[in-house]
Structure formats: structure tokens, C-alpha cells
Chains A and B, each alone.
Chain A
């Protein structure tokens, strides 16, 4: 399908606005807390608006781009919005907005707020850059910036656990980045600078061994971020250590950036045909399938809420990887839409857990018996997201699993259905006992804790609104999934282009 290229001057705003927000956050602090909150929200909202403004055009088959900066005669910093990027961009910006609004309440008593907000907004900027990058170099620049500059957020609490988790994070990510760098340099060497829009930059005559090396490097590099087994080690440590709003975007978007990278590599760098010839994707399928089941099994036994959710994220990203690796159109739709759906489901769960930590001091599954009586709205949102994660219709998780299932059948490998459903069943096993305990178990009559639990009550409105909004998105993305403009339509368009 021929798409119409349009030079868009507002495109850079998508990442310049958050950068601006990060820069002015310090002077704003001097002004007043309120001014800062409003300012940041407006900037973030602006990003959402910019990201959303591309969608109607994208759906009409237009593609927006702009060349920003010329590094050498051949290499530009090139921004480009195609359906895949548009979907990722809007998901990221909306989730960031929710997490930001939530932060105002959550971080109110924390230290180093300016640092937190500055890096928080910066990381949005880099994410938007990754989403809208038009060539590999641009991608690399934003990806590296993003990887490295999120460290202060991971370690924000500055507790020894956080520091340890941060070190682990940075080591994993740097090793991953090195592989990405290697792969990208190699790709440039072979193919030169090209826009990430063609049906693959590489071709078979470049040597099979070279191509496989490049692919493996990309896979390892992005696999670290996407938390594919056995490169997932940083995820379960980083999540519990980070502040809840950042855990939200960490789980919802950051991990997904790895899968986004692999999507770009698979469909824009290598291309469908070449991957078919290379015959490497079946190994990725095995890895993804193993990740789904293994991480879910590990999640069952975690008592720390955030750790359990972190393992769940690893498992869910396995679904996305599986959807990519199957190389089927429907499966790819499923993978893409699952990125968005997962972002909001897991976002809801993490935001809820944040409220549980903040309001009730509950960190572990074993401590939240009967909490739903005290915090009904939080637990209702949690339940919705948990059911969605399992794939209960008509919530959004069902939509993505439905397409993944169809994709599995499309490529005629029905055994992966067992993985798909097994992972969902395990999700039920690790999520629903939480819901059950919160609603139907009596709180333990502990002598000392009575005063604590007696004062536990629902969070203030400023924190509840993002939670409820995220839960509502989970419902809307399921119930009205086929409405044009919502993720499913973008994912279908992206898949149509990739499988042209």
C-alpha cells in the first residue's frame, strides 16, 4: 500500500515538550508545588495531544516525518511516524500522563522531587524519540539516552535495595546496549543509512552468517530490555525498588521498548522474507514460549506484590515476543495491541499496588486480607485489571489474546495455543488469589496492627483518578476495541504494512 509522506513540523514537539518540562521543573519548584504540578501536567497533556494528532492522518494512510539534524552528509536525525510508532507513542504518552498525575499524590512526601520529575519527563521524551525514530541511528541515540538516564529513577528511593537494583539494572542494560550498538554498526556497515520503512534493509546476498550474527546481537540487546529469559534478571529487582508511578511505566512501556525494538528489527531491518529464509524465528518462539510459562510459574510463588507483578510482566512480554516471532499477520496485530493493552492493565495493577503501599503499608500478598473493605475503589480497579490480564472478555486482555490465538492458528502451530492458555491460567493462579484475599478473607486479628489497619482508608482523589482512568481504559480498549482510532485499528494498519 502506497503511503503519503508528509513533512510535519509539530513532530519534534513530541519529545521537545517533555524535555522543556524537565528543564523548567527546577525553577517551577521555587514558584510553588501547585504551579509545578499544573505545568508538568500541561506539558504532558501537550505530548499526548501531539501524539494523538497523528492518528487520524495515519489511519488515512499518511506518514509524517521530519529531518532534524545532519550528522554527516548521509546520516540524519530523522523522525518519522508510521502506524507502529504512532501506536507506541500514544500508549507511552497516555500512560506517562496517568503516572505523572498519580505522582503528584504519591511523591508528595518524598525527597528529591525535582530530580524525580525532571528525569521522569526526560524519559518520556526519550521514549517518544524511540517511538518516532525514522532510522537506526536516531533509534540508537534515543534508546541509549533512555536506557542510561532512567537510572536515577530506578534508584530514586536511595535505599540500599534500590541502589543494588539500580546497579543490576545498569549493568544489564549497558551490556544490552553494547550489543545493540554492535548490531547497528554492523547493519550500517552492510546496508548504510536507510529509513526504517522499507521492507527490510538487509538482503540475503550480504552473507547468511553476517545476518545471523546481526540478528543474534539485536536479539540479545533488545532481549535484555524485553526481559526474555534468560536476560530478565533485572526486572524482578528493579520493580520493587522503584517508586510506584515509575514501576508503572517501567513495566508498561520500558520493557515494551525492547519488544518494540525487536519489532523494528524484524519487520523494518530484516523484513519478513529474509527472516523466513534465515529460519531463526522458531528459536525465538521457543524462548518466548518458555518465558511465558516459566516466568508465570515463578510469579505464583512470590509473596512481594511488586515482584509478583514484575514476573507477570516478563511473562506477558513473552506473549508479545511470541506474537512477533510467529511472523503471522494476526499474531503481529495481537503482539502490537498487547503492548498497549498490557501497558494499561499492568499500569493499573502497579498504581493500585502503589496505593496499597502508601495507604495501608501493605507490600506482600499475605498482608492484604480483607483490604477491599477499606479500599473498595482501589481493589475494584485491581480486579478489573487482573481479570483483563487473564483474558476475560470483554476486557482488553481478551482482545490481544484473541488475536494472538488467531495468529497461532494462522501459522498452523496449534500447540502454542496450550502455551497461550497455560500462561493465562497461570495468570489466574497468581493474580486472582490476591483479589479473593482482598474481598473475602477476614483480616488477621493481629494485636499490634489494629491501629494501623483501622486508619487505612481510600487514597485521596488525585491518586484515585489515574487508577480509575487506567482501569477504565482497560475496559474501553476491550469493549470498544474495534472503534477506529483505538489501538486495534492502528495495529491492524501496521500489520497490513508489515505483511504487505
Chain B
């Protein structure tokens, strides 16, 4: 690099970025304490930032390039400042200062002022970070911060309109950010190092090269309001508070322009000093041409859209789009012209500065009108020049700037861009560029027309509404802010050499380009007749469009909404979400089918193994639960009785004795209840095994609920045996005897059989009410016991089966096999279990708890199986290993 001896280190760039960033921390505490102190604070901070930025000027003049880096994220954040970066930083800090000054009064009507000022400082830091960045990562980090934090500007008023616009803004920023990082990745793929310096692209695939360029341009272009990704801008800029609009439109979109500028003129250009080999500039020229045309299209469509607006801020926002087109055209021409692109550089950069100044001033002016009148509709205002003379004056100056009236700044930059386009045409005599030049003049005419409209409708003419006494000139601080900007507009219009000779020419020199053309322009073309004539042509066109348009109402024409890209973006987004939903639904169906398949498999397993079907399985679980609950209730009952009894004799016995009795009762009762449970469950199992599931399904619950007699008996027995148990005697025989008694009294199997549907009388009565059933059952039991006494032969066939089964019993092998199928079944059941059942169930009820306990038991059983298998596998393996040694 030829300028390497000029590179110096200075912490100033880093400080410029970090100062507003860290200052933002103090805004909230100060704002809570005292608003005026906070106001002073933010103005001082932006002022100091501006001064520090100005401090870069002598440094750059001396060293041409300064760098600094701070360790952060991956490696470090580096800052490199050359003349161009300095130029961006300077005007950004300046407009920021003016806007902040202006915002103090303006925000009196707004809420959340602290949030505004925090956002203000953070975004300032991000903006300066973008333009001072020394490598692509730092650039990207700042750029994302800028885009995302500025969201708070857009949404600040929190009206419905602001929220709607902010959503669009946000998504486009996010998508733009992804495009940008994709582009940055691709520059690495092309062999870049991340530095903002020429990438050696000669030997890379053209596809990759173009993809990188397209992604970078798209990423930066979203911010810059480039066509066709400008759609967020006309929505988002007007809804922000006016000082924020001025920043969004005047400064922040320049972050995008800066990115495109660096992409075209730094990344995709040959190494410095290679400007002799013209073929190396080929790609650079091609992308220059693309950018130039994007610029021309953007400026034209932007201005056409602007003409159709009645909301002043919206109109200004469309002009931001259009003016970005001018800038892009300048940058594109610079890229296209390669080594001789000085006029393009100068025009693009100068217009960037100028646009920041006059667009900032215009937004502040219109904001002042809104501040006083509460209206932004140009067609409803009028005659304000009398009421707000200074505001009118400053707005007029800014309008003169944007329309390119000689002696105002816009004139110089527009002429420079015009010259650049003409030169681009002359380079290869591309006919299309001649067309571009014509479009350029027409666009200038449209711009003139727009601002004739603004000034003519809002400030001149007769008032269309009655203004109250509150409509007077803006407060002094707002006027000072606008005045500063207006002064700058005039200064830069009168003395363009300040920027052109002071900044652009040395900058070009640093990058190894000729700057003679600029000197030539300043000497010969500045304020030349030809240039002034082109402005006159533009104004003539502007007046024509204005009068024709006003007469025929052309400004109120609206194109169908499908005509705009916005409509299609929205559609795409909606379609995409619908697509996601569709995928999800499809996936659910797929899952459903899988579970169906598993259920079918389970059916197969059922058929093959002969194990009970799924419904039976469910019933077994229910029955188990029911009986388990009964068991639990029995033990509880016994304990309650024991406690009751020991309460009665509390005086006689000590606490420990009571405790002992209760414990003993618990032991005995739970022993008996468990035995009873097993017996009963065996009965139910037999029924199920003999295919009587359906028969007892409905009645089981009732029958079980009629078993309360056993509870009483067990409780009594436990109480009587408790003393014996405490004494250490063997209570086994007694328990056995009682159990036999209970079982013979209870006749659980017979009760069940009683209840099955073919004994209609019994089951009918049973199903009436619990009380009735209780009365009926002893009767039925009695009857059946008679049967029993008479002999088994007379019993129904079903009982024979059952008995036979029980007598035969399970041999161990069968049990093991059943257990195996059980595990499989449980696995399958669990996988295919329907959610609906679970959801409707009672979550904290006894049933759920018992159920859970069962599940955990089951888990333990299965787990032990798994671990056993694992262990066996390991043992075999170890044995095998040991054998081998």
C-alpha cells in the first residue's frame, strides 16, 4: 500500500465511538433526577462528540490515515479513518448535534423522553462506528446495532401506525443484516481478509463474486433505501418524531450509502497502484454500472412516488429515496469510470453531505410546523410564512438546497453527478447512459416540482384553516438547530472547495486515484452557464409539472396496490408463515400416522402372543387402580380407628405406647389389605383372562364400593391383634384365620358374577343407586352361597373356566413370557398413548397419584431389566476379554 508510511495510531476514533455509547448509561438516572440537567447532558455529549470528530481533521490532514483497535468479540474491533470516513463522521456528528438540540423542545409533547435520548446516543455511537470501522466485522457489528436500536426511534410514539411501520422496518433490517453477513462471509471466500481493502478477485469464480456483490449491496441497500428494498423507508421515517426523522433520513441511511460506497470503490477494485492494467478494472466497472442504474431507477421512482404524497413528512421520506438514487448514481459512476472516476466520487460524497444537511433541515422545518399546528397535510396548511417566518426561511433555504438552486449546496453536488454521468456516457458511448442522463434531468424537474408544492402549499398562499394563537415561530432552540443547518447549506453552496479540495481530493490521493478532474471542475465548470441552464431547465419542468398536476389532480392518482413491491413482500411473508404452518400440520399428520402404525403393530403383537388387547389392558389398569385405592382406604380406616381408640385412652397410656399401637395396627392392616388386594385382583384377572372383561367392565366399580364391610373387619382385627403384635407374639395364624373369614364372607368373585349383565335383575338394581346396591348384594350373595353349598357342578360355565384356570395356575415360564410381552406392550402403549386422555384427567387427584406410583414402579422394573441386560453384556464381554488374555 503506497500510503503505508502515513498510517498513524490514535485512540481518537475509538473514543469518538465509545463516548456516546457509555454516556447513554447516565441518561436514565439523570432524567429521573432532573430533566433539564439531562437535556444539557445530552447536548454536551453530542457537542463533545462533534468536537472530537472535528479533532480528526488535523490528524487526517497530517497522517492521511489513522487506525486504532480495541480487543473485543472475535479478535478485535478496529477503526481506520481516512478522509472519506472523516467526512461521513463529521456531517453525522454535526446533524446529530443539531437534531439533539432541536429535540429538547420538540419532545415536550412526547412520552418516554429518556428512552429517546438513550436511543439517540447509542445510535450515534453505532453510526460513527459504521463510518469509522476499519474492518468488515466492526462495520457489521455497528451496522446491526444501528439498524436494531434505531427501531426504537421508529416505534417511539407507539401509535398503531408507528407499530405497523416499525414491524416492516424491523424485518427488512433483519433480512438486510443477514444478506450483509452473507456477503461478508463470501468476501472471505473470495480471499478477503476482512479489511476494507481491495479483495484479490482475479482468479475467483464469477458466480461467487457476483453473489458477494449482490448480497453486500442488498444488505447495505436496505438501509440506504435503495430500490427495490426501499419500501420500509416511506413508512418508517415519517412516523418517528421529527428530530429522529431528520436523523433517519438525513444521516442513518448514509450508513447504507457508505457501505455501498466502500463495496464499489474499496472492496471490488484492483489493488492500489495497479491502475495501469485496465482489464483489472473490468469487474469494478461492471458493478459500477449496475449501481449507477439502480441509482437512476431509485431517483426516478422515488420522485414519482413523492409527487403523489400529501403528508409532508412522507413526501420528504420519498425524496430521501430519490436523493439516495442521486448518491448511488454518483458512486456507480465512480466505479464505472475506475481511475478517472473523481467526479463520481466527488459528486456522490458531496451529495451525501449535502443531503444530510438539507434533508435534516427540511424534516426539522416540517417538524416545527407540526409542533405548532399539529398537521402534516400540505393541502390543509397554507400561509404559514407570516406566522412562522424564520421556520419558513430555513425551510426555504433547505428546499433551495435540495432542488439545486445555484449558490446552495445541492447545486454543486447535482452538477458533479451530472458531469460524472455525462463522462460515463462519453467513456464507452453506451447509449443507455445517455438515457440515464435524460432521466436525471427529468428527476431534477420532479424534485423541483415537489418542493414548489411544499413551499407553495404549506407556507405561501392563503391559510386554508384558522390558526390559533399557539401557531407562532418555533422555540429558539429549535430555530438555532435549523439555523445551523441552513448556514451550513449556504456555506457549502458558496465554497464547495472546502469539501472538494479539503477532503475529497486528499482522500482520492490516499486511494491512488487522480484528483485533477476536481480541480478542473472547480476552475472551469463551477457556476458555469451550462450548469445553471440545466437547473433552469429542471425548474421549468418542475413548474410545468406542478401546474399541470394541480389542474388535473394528477397528484392524487393512486396505482393499484399490487403494483408496488411492498404488496409482494407482504404476500411473501404471509405465504411463508402459511407454509410453516402447513409443514407443521403435515408433520402432525405424519406423527399421527406413525402412532397409528404402532397401534397396528400392537394389535399384531396381541394377536400373535394372545395377550389381552389394548382395551383389556386399559381395564386391567383401571381395576388395579380401583383395588389399590380400596387397599389404601382399608389401611387408612384401620389407622383412623387405632388413633381414635388411643385418643380415648390417652390418659392411660403414654405417647410412645399410642405410637406403637398405631404402628402395629398399620403393619397388620396393611398386611391383610395387601393379601386381600392380591386375592381380589386375582379374581378380576381371571375374569379378564376368560374374556369376561366386557361383562364386568361397567359393574366393577360398584362392586368394589360395596366391599366396605371388609374394612371394618380388618380394622377391628388389627386393633385386637395389635397388643399381641407389640408383645412380639406371632399374629400370623390369627391374620390367616381372619382373612379366610373375610374371603368367605365377601365372595368377591360371586359378587362380580352376580353383577354381570346376564343376571339382569341384580345388575339393574345395582346400577340404580349405591344404597340400593348395598341392600341387594347381601341378598344375592346369600343366594349364591346356597349355590356354592350345593356344589360346583351347578355353577355357570364361566366359573368353571375360571376355576380351571386358577387350579392349573401359571407355571413360571408362562409368567416370564407374560412379563416379557407386558414390557413390550407397555412400551407400545406408552408410545401410542393418546394425549387427549391425559389432558382431561384429574392431575392432583388420588387416581393420578396412584397411577403415577404405578408408572414409577413399572419404570423401576423396566430399568432393572435394562441394567441387567447391560451388565450381562458387559460381563460376557469382560469374560471374553479375560479369556483372550
Q: Does A436 contact B (CB under 8 A)?
A: yes
Given the complex, which residues of B lie within 8 Å of A297, measured CB to CB?
579-580, 583-584
Stretch at the interface among A51-59, A162-170, A342-350: A162-170
Could you tell me the distance in whole angstroms from the C-beta of B773 to the nearest C-beta in chain A?
A: 30
Stretch at the interface among A68-76, A101-109, A197-205, A462-470: A68-76
* Bound complex: CA A168 to CA B827 (Å): 9
Q: Does B185 contact A (CB under 8 A)?
A: yes
* Bound complex: CA A155 to CA B858 (Å): 13
Given the complex, which residues of B lie within 8 Å of A436, measured CB to CB?
167, 170
Could you tell me the distance in whole angstroms from the C-beta of A103 to the nearest C-beta in chain B?
A: 21
Within the complex, which residue of B72, B591, B866 is in contact with A480, where a contact is CB–CB below 8 Å? B72
Within the complex, which residue of B835, B841, B859, B885 is in contact with A151, where a contact is CB–CB below 8 Å? B859
Q: Does A405 contact B (CB under 8 A)?
A: yes
Q: Does A460 contact B (CB under 8 A)?
A: no
Check if B155 sits within 8 Å of A440, measured CB to CB: yes
Q: Does B838 contact A (CB under 8 A)?
A: yes
Check if B185 sits within 8 Å of A417, measured CB to CB: yes
If A74-B885, A298-B584, A409-B185 touch, whether A394 touches B72 (CB-CB below 8 Å) is yes
If A160-B841, A482-B71 touch, whether A387 touches B163 (CB-CB below 8 Å) is no
Stretch at the interface among B195-203, B356-364, B789-797, B873-881: B873-881
Contact with B along A348-389 (1 / 0, CB 8 A): 000000000000000000000000000000000000000100
Within the complex, which residue of A159, A301, A412 is in contact with B843, where a contact is CB–CB below 8 Å? A159
Contact with A along B159-185 (1 / 0, CB 8 A): 000010011001000110110011001
Q: Nearest CB to that of A428 among chain B residues? A: B174
Q: Does B144 contact A (CB under 8 A)?
A: yes
Within the complex, which residue of B73, B583, B866, B881 is in contact with A399, where a contact is CB–CB below 8 Å? B73
Given the complex, which residues of B lie within 8 Å of A300, measured CB to CB?
577, 580-581, 584
Q: Does A188 contact B (CB under 8 A)?
A: yes
Q: Does A171 contact B (CB under 8 A)?
A: yes
Within the complex, which residue of B178, B833, B849 is in contact with A164, where a contact is CB–CB below 8 Å? B833
Within the complex, which residue of A185, A394, A412 is in contact with B141, where a contact is CB–CB below 8 Å? A394
Contact with A along B138-152 (1 / 0, CB 8 A): 001100110010000
Given the complex, which residues of A lie within 8 Å of B601, measured CB to CB?
none
* Bound complex: CA A452 to CA B69 (Å): 52
* Bound complex: CA A398 to CA B870 (Å): 42
Check if A164 sits within 8 Å of B878, measured CB to CB: no
Q: Does A276 contact B (CB under 8 A)?
A: no
Check if B870 sits within 8 Å of A144, measured CB to CB: yes
Given the complex, which residues of A lie within 8 Å of B881, measured CB to CB?
72, 74-75, 188
Check if B74 sits within 8 Å of A414, measured CB to CB: no
Check if B830 sits within 8 Å of A168, measured CB to CB: yes
Q: Nearest CB to that of A478 among chain B residues? A: B73
* Bound complex: CA A170 to CA B855 (Å): 12
Q: Does B733 contact A (CB under 8 A)?
A: no
Interface size, chain B (Cβ < 8 Å): 66
* Bound complex: CA A418 to CA B144 (Å): 19
Contact with A along B55-76 (1 / 0, CB 8 A): 0000000000000000111111
Given the complex, which residues of A lie within 8 Å of B181, measured CB to CB?
391, 405, 421
Check if A301 sits within 8 Å of B878, measured CB to CB: no
* Bound complex: CA A387 to CA B849 (Å): 42
Could you tell me the distance in whole angstroms from the C-beta of B842 to the nearest C-beta in chain A?
A: 9
Contact with A along B184-213 (1 / 0, CB 8 A): 011011000000000000000000100100
Check if B189 sits within 8 Å of A409, measured CB to CB: yes
Interface positions, chain B 587-602, Cβ under 8 Å from A, are 587, 591
A-B contact count (CB 8 A): 155
Q: Does A265 contact B (CB under 8 A)?
A: no
Given the complex, which residues of A lie within 8 Å of B866, measured CB to CB?
148, 174
Given the complex, which residues of A lie within 8 Å of B830, measured CB to CB?
164, 167-168, 171
Given the complex, which residues of A lie within 8 Å of B859, measured CB to CB?
151, 166-167, 170
Could you tell me the distance in whole angstroms from the C-beta of B475 to the nearest C-beta in chain A?
A: 31
* Bound complex: CA A391 to CA B148 (Å): 13
Q: Decide if the interface of chain B is mainly helix, strand, loop or mixed.
A: helix
Within the complex, which residue of A387, A478, A482 is in contact with B148, where a contact is CB–CB below 8 Å? A387
Q: Does A424 contact B (CB under 8 A)?
A: yes
Q: Does B867 contact A (CB under 8 A)?
A: yes
Within the complex, which residue of A233, A294, A414, A429 is in contact with B189, where a contact is CB–CB below 8 Å? A414
Q: Nearest CB to that of A436 among chain B residues? A: B167
Could you tell me the distance in whole angstroms from the C-beta of A322 to the nearest C-beta in chain B?
A: 15
Q: Does A66 contact B (CB under 8 A)?
A: no
Q: Decide if the interface of chain A is mainly helix, strand, loop or mixed.
A: helix
* Bound complex: CA A412 to CA B178 (Å): 20
Check if B827 sits within 8 Å of A425, measured CB to CB: no
* Bound complex: CA A148 to CA B862 (Å): 11
Q: Does B852 contact A (CB under 8 A)?
A: yes
* Bound complex: CA A74 to CA B849 (Å): 48
Instruction: State which size class the interface on A falls in.
Output: 35 or more
Given the complex, which residues of A lie within 8 Å of B140, measured CB to CB?
393
Check if A406 sits within 8 Å of B841, measured CB to CB: no
Q: Does A90 contact B (CB under 8 A)?
A: no
* Bound complex: CA A424 to CA B295 (Å): 30
Within the complex, which residue of A164, A417, A480 is in contact with B835, where a contact is CB–CB below 8 Å? A164
Check if B848 sits within 8 Å of A160, measured CB to CB: yes
Given the complex, which residues of A lie within 8 Å of B885, measured CB to CB?
73-74
Q: Nearest CB to that of A393 among chain B residues? A: B141
Given the complex, which residues of B lie within 8 Å of A188, measured CB to CB?
877, 881
Q: Does B557 contact A (CB under 8 A)?
A: no
Within the complex, which residue of A75, A160, A185, A387 is in contact with B873, where a contact is CB–CB below 8 Å? A185
Check if B841 sits within 8 Å of A481, measured CB to CB: no
Q: Does A8 contact B (CB under 8 A)?
A: no
Given the complex, which residues of A lie within 8 Å of B186, measured CB to CB?
409, 414, 417
Check if A440 sits within 8 Å of B831, measured CB to CB: no
* Bound complex: CA A247 to CA B74 (Å): 30
Check if A148 sits within 8 Å of B863, measured CB to CB: yes
Check if B873 sits within 8 Å of A181, measured CB to CB: yes
Q: Does B158 contact A (CB under 8 A)?
A: yes
* Bound complex: CA A167 to CA B852 (Å): 12
Check if B877 sits within 8 Å of A163, measured CB to CB: no
Within the complex, which residue of B73, B75, B579 is in contact with A393, where a contact is CB–CB below 8 Å? B73
Interface positions, chain A 292-319, Cβ under 8 Å from B, are 294, 297-298, 300-302
Within the complex, which residue of A161, A166, A302 is in contact with B838, where a contact is CB–CB below 8 Å? A161
Q: Does A488 contact B (CB under 8 A)?
A: yes
Q: Does B839 contact A (CB under 8 A)?
A: yes
Contact with B along A421-434 (1 / 0, CB 8 A): 10011001100100
Contact with B along A127-164 (1 / 0, CB 8 A): 00000000000000000100010010001001111011
Q: Nearest CB to that of B148 among chain A residues? A: A392
Q: Does A28 contact B (CB under 8 A)?
A: no
Given the complex, which residues of A lie within 8 Å of B559, measured CB to CB?
none
Q: Does B813 contact A (CB under 8 A)?
A: no
Which one of B170, B870, B878 has the greatest number of beta carbons of chain A within 10 Å?
Answer: B870
Q: Does B882 contact A (CB under 8 A)?
A: yes
Check if B208 sits within 8 Å of A414, measured CB to CB: yes
* Bound complex: CA A168 to CA B831 (Å): 6
Contact with A along B818-858 (1 / 0, CB 8 A): 00000000010011010101110101000011011001100
Contact with B along A13-57 (1 / 0, CB 8 A): 000000000000000000000000000000000000000000000
Q: Does A402 contact B (CB under 8 A)?
A: yes
Q: Does A287 contact B (CB under 8 A)?
A: no
Given the complex, which residues of B lie within 8 Å of A409, measured CB to CB?
185-186, 188-189
Q: Nearest CB to that of B208 among chain A residues? A: A414
* Bound complex: CA A399 to CA B74 (Å): 7
Could you tell me the distance in whole angstroms from the C-beta of B347 to the nearest C-beta in chain A?
A: 33
Check if B163 sits within 8 Å of A72, measured CB to CB: no
Given the complex, which residues of B lie within 8 Å of A298, measured CB to CB?
580, 583-584, 587
Q: Nearest CB to that of A396 among chain B residues? A: B73
Q: Nearest CB to that of A182 among chain B residues? A: B873
Check if B852 sits within 8 Å of A417, measured CB to CB: no
Could you tell me the distance in whole angstroms from the C-beta of B28 to the nearest C-beta in chain A?
A: 12
Q: Can you report 9 residue pairs joining A to B where beta carbons are below 8 Å apart?
A: A298-B584, A302-B584, A391-B181, A392-B144, A398-B73, A398-B141, A409-B188, A432-B174, A436-B170
3 nearest A-B residue pairs (beta carbon): A167-B830, A160-B838, A301-B584
